[in-house]
A and B are shown apart, each in its own frame.
Chain A
Amino acid sequence: MTGRKATNTLSALALLAAGCASSGVEEGFEPVARVTAERLGEEATWRRGAEEDDAVRVEVGALLAEPLTMDRAVRLALVHSPRLQAEFERLGVAHADWIEAGLIENPVVGATWQGVSGGKGERWEVGLVQSLMSLPVRPAQKRLAALELERTRLEVSQDVLATALAVREAYVDLAAAESAAAAVERVARAVRAGAEFARRQREAGNINALEFAERRALAAEVEADLARAEQEAVAARERLGLLLGVEAGDWSIEPGLTAPKAVAGGVETLTARALEQRLDLAAGRLEIEQLAEALDVTLRWRWFLVADVGVEYEEEVDGVDLFGPTLSIQLPIFDRGQARVARLESLERASRRRLTQAALEVRSGVREAYARLESQRKLTEQYREVLLPARREVVAEAQKHYNYMLLGTYRLLEAHRDEIEAEVEYVEALRDAWRAWIDLERAVGRPLPLAEGEVETLEPEIEEQEMEMEHEHE
């Protein structure tokens, strides 16, 4: 073989390699962005450069300038969270793996020069070897790598969803904690007023030391409750801030919690959708497919024995030129690939079992979350419609009895306190209802209530992508 021919081959290969490497990463992210946009209502952004970073910083600044709503908090996390950005880079890695899977192994050139000791001659040889081991399996490996890329996309999307739901949960916790702290503060004010009233009574000689001590003790207990409630609010704020990737600056959230809406569709519908649409289930199915494909390839090609082909040129000491092809073959005596097969079989079976387990967990998760959501919503309704109005009426009627000196100041303050504590319980019930809602979302893998029409998954994308790539290289 001439040097020029070798060079041409090498350059062609290089070009091909270069072309493959630079294209396709952004397109690789697009399905992720699209699916998460559809499932969350917010688009995720993968920042891969400084100007994107600057653009996002502006947007983050705008989002933090006003009190955050649940949706805005999710958006903030999707564009800003460093952790998510790190996750997205997995796509880059998987994409590179996919490219690498399509690359042919480089040929190896070897040269040896030997001089006869004493300087009475030399011998040199040059050889060019191309490994062929991977050749027949290369398409399959590319397919497998594409599946792996797909699976990574699914996992990343799942991660984005999980993050968004975690943000929602942390948001709800924070809103509830802040409401509770504000309410306990009102209770504290009422009890402080009662303690001050008692102090005045004591000064005038109208109550004894026993009653005065009891009133002071009551006030002190409430102060402790207040401290705990405020501390809880601070901790919840840190948790949300961490998820969003913002420091504890002066950002805030909208006060108050609304009640989550009712879910359309019963448990059966939701379970069916969940089984179809859960990204992690789809990833699990892909994994099974991957392993089945790998097993298939291994079984088919384990008897392919040819290892290397090449050419060699040798110049002997005595000046004789030798030139010819080389061939090496692996003898499958010890390792007949039985271990690889067994491993893959085991892995594939494990993968199936895991999928079954995952499906079980999904079904159970949907049922449990659905039941919890229903009962929590009923509970919040009970609070809103029955308990809180009754407590408010207790205060109003107590005020009337107080006006006629039929009951005293302490009882009136107690009625007020009972009303506020009922409000706190209501807020906690709202928070628990939201948590159940988020758990249900997590279980179903889609926003609730479900939209009508076509169920969208990522699977169709794989075929298109692969064909495109093959077209380029072939």
Chain B
Amino acid sequence: MSMSSGWWIVDRGWWGRGQRGREGWIRHPGGGRGALRGSLRLTRWTSHGWLELTDWRVPLAAILSVFLLTVLASPTAAEDLPYTPVITPDGETLEWTIEDGVKAFRLTVEEIEWEIAPGMTVKAWGYNGRTPGPTIEAVEGDRVRFYVTNKLPESTAIHWHGVLLPSGMDGVQGLSQRGIPPGETFIYEFTLKQNGTQMYHSHGDEMVQIGMGAMGFFIIHPKNPAGPRVDRDYAVMLSEWFVDPGTSTPNVNVMTDFNLFTMNSRVFPGTEPLMVEAGERVRIRFGNIAQEMHPIHLHGHQFVTTGTDAGRIPQQLWMKETTVTVAPGQTRDIEFTAVPGDWAMHCHRRHHPMNPMGHDVPNVLGVDQEGVADDIRELLPGYMAMGESGMEEHAEHAEHMPGPENTLPMMSGVGQYGRINMGGMFTVVKVRDRLKPGAEDGWHNDPEGTVAEAVGVFPRTRPDETQDEESMEHGMSQGPSEDSSEKPAEEPAAEHHRHTMEDDDG
């Protein structure tokens, strides 16, 4: 108990090389990232990337050392985690140490430089160099201790949103505690008496501090988990910013006219995809400590909303849908079984999956600009007519025309079939049969006949002949076998699934 704890995960999957930070999910007592070579295919897609397996062959010494370390290390080193650790896309999990039997975490809130997407960096106020701050994970029943160091220019406090704790630990500056003065460190300590997806955020001058990104997830895993086991657990924080194009400091005075909508403080095409293996049960936890409500829509699946920040929703009350509304102050857990494909997941408010655009520009949709555009170009050599036929042409132009510095084009991103032309609160859930290193940059291999194409490109097939083995497998496997555990008010087993063209009864 005295040394830093770590834990092994042995699971199906690949080992790979950690990309950044230390999630701690594979750590020797000596620390560092592990590269285990073995015949075991040990993999994990983590928020830090892959731990790379380069070879099937395993040097004996490596196996031996692993064994020895496992045996010789302190009991805590071999301790299994009682939960699937949460992956925070574009984020990380907060490390802890054990002090006096208490899980101790360290948070420093300070001004940071944060990349919203490649090509745009802003000033933000984050925890431990990040916004959102690192995800806190603990188990119901843990006693937790937080050392909070304030390096902001003004005082702050951290409120543990949704957590049941003593009044003086609630973190409302002036009400629960005196504010943490700049430069000082305060301690919060309390015992966790609940489970669910909670959050933490600044509660001193919160209009500014939250507006600048001071928030994060606080996930409390149940002591006795119930319900179907979740294979992948993701956490996505929703927020909005206004950054005047050409500037690098968010304007926190803006209340309704935001221009950047972020998932874990990133926008598309800078959002990390959510990597999943087909057939896995996936949980995605959404949190919202911002100003706007966001209806998050997931393509290709029907999910159930299984949790709020007060814990798990009873199964009888699970409602199936494809869009979950997350309002400010709420968290929502959704669960579904993954089917192969590249699935968009985005806020369904039409402007939210867009990067900054002008809102009082002249309406030029359908306006014939021929001739007058040339006249204007004689006066202004860089002028090009835009918007007559919609925004797609503009998105192409924006690639090679200069914009204001530190500004993202309104829509961009390229997939395997061409320009995606999205931005903002948009990401992709990539479900693969097997996850290999580099999968996050790849695209789904669509079986023949399952891609919308021009007439005549693919031979027409009848639905009951198309099903290739794989899709059939996965199509059915996500079906009633899992959902049968869910009780009433369900549709029949023949699910609406992409690979199933029609119901069996025709």
The residues of A with any CB-CB pair to B shorter than 8 Å are: 186, 189-190, 192-193, 196-197, 200-201, 203-207, 395, 397, 399-410, 412-413, 416
> Would A401 and B404 be within 8 Å (CB), given that A206-B362, A206-B366, A406-B245 are in contact?
yes
> Would A403 and B362 be within 8 Å (CB), given that A196-B372, A200-B368 are in contact?
no
A400 touches B403 (CB 8 A): yes
B165 at the interface (CB under 8 A from A): no
Main secondary structure of the interface of B (DSSP, over half): loop
B133 at the interface (CB under 8 A from A): no
How near does chain A come to B242, taking the closest CB pair, in angstroms?
13
Find chain B residues with CB under 8 A from A404 CB. Answer: 245, 356-357, 398, 403-404, 407, 409-410
B55 at the interface (CB under 8 A from A): no
Chain A: CB-nearest residue to B377: A193
Looking at the complex, which one of B362, B372, B409 makes contact with A408 (CB distance below 8 Å)?
Answer: B362
Looking at the complex, which one of A200, A205, A401, A410 makes contact with B372 (CB distance below 8 Å)?
Answer: A200
A-B contact pairs, 9 of them (CB 8 A): A201-B362, A206-B364, A401-B246, A405-B358, A406-B403, A409-B364, A413-B380, A416-B379, A416-B380
Q: A196-B372, A413-B376 are in contact. List 9 more A-B contacts (CB 8 A).
A: A189-B379, A197-B362, A206-B366, A207-B362, A400-B404, A401-B245, A404-B356, A408-B364, A409-B364
Find chain A residues with CB under 8 A from B403 CB. Answer: 400-401, 403-404, 406
B34 at the interface (CB under 8 A from A): no
B252 at the interface (CB under 8 A from A): no
A204 touches B379 (CB 8 A): no
Chain A: CB-nearest residue to B374: A193
How near does chain B come to A198, taking the closest CB pair, in angstroms?
9
Looking at A399, A409, A416, the one whose CB has the most chain B CB atoms below 10 A away is A409
B20 at the interface (CB under 8 A from A): no
Contact with A along B101-121 (1 / 0, CB 8 A): 000000000000000000000
A406 touches B363 (CB 8 A): no
Report the separation of the CA atoms of residues A399 and B380 in the bound assembly, to the nearest whole angstrom: 8
Report the separation of the CA atoms of residues A404 and B355 in the bound assembly, to the nearest whole angstrom: 10
Binding-face segment, B290-298, B315-323, B381-389, B476-484: B381-389
Find chain A residues with CB under 8 A from B488 CB. Answer: none
A197 touches B372 (CB 8 A): yes
Chain B contributes a number of interface residues (CB within 8 A of A) equal to 38
B365 at the interface (CB under 8 A from A): yes
Find chain B residues with CB under 8 A from A397 CB. Answer: 246, 404
B409 touches A189 (CB 8 A): no
B361 touches A193 (CB 8 A): no
Report the separation of the CA atoms of residues A204 and B361 in the bound assembly, to the nearest whole angstrom: 16
Report the separation of the CA atoms of residues A197 and B382 in the bound assembly, to the nearest whole angstrom: 17
Report the separation of the CA atoms of residues A203 and B382 in the bound assembly, to the nearest whole angstrom: 26
Find chain B residues with CB under 8 A from A401 CB. Answer: 245-246, 358, 403-404
> Would A412 and B383 be within 8 Å (CB), given that A401-B403, A403-B401 are in contact?
yes
Find chain A residues with CB under 8 A from B372 CB. Answer: 193, 196-197, 200
Looking at the complex, which one of B245, B246, B375, B386 makes contact with A193 (CB distance below 8 Å)?
Answer: B375
Find chain A residues with CB under 8 A from B367 CB. Answer: 197, 200-201, 203-204, 206
Report the separation of the CA atoms of residues A409 and B376 in the bound assembly, to the nearest whole angstrom: 9
B394 at the interface (CB under 8 A from A): yes
Chain B: CB-nearest residue to A417: B379
B397 at the interface (CB under 8 A from A): yes
Report the separation of the CA atoms of residues A170 and B375 in the bound assembly, to the nearest whole angstrom: 35
Find chain B residues with CB under 8 A from A189 CB. Answer: 375, 378-379
Looking at the complex, which one of A186, A196, A407, A416 makes contact with B361 (CB distance below 8 Å)?
Answer: A407
How near does chain B come to A212, taking the closest CB pair, in angstroms?
12
A-B pairs, top 7 by smallest CB distance, nearest first, are: A408-B361, A404-B403, A406-B358, A403-B401, A408-B362, A206-B363, A196-B372
How near does chain A come to B448, taking the closest CB pair, in angstroms?
39
B84 at the interface (CB under 8 A from A): no
Find chain A residues with CB under 8 A from B366 CB. Answer: 204-206
Find chain B residues with CB under 8 A from A204 CB. Answer: 365-368
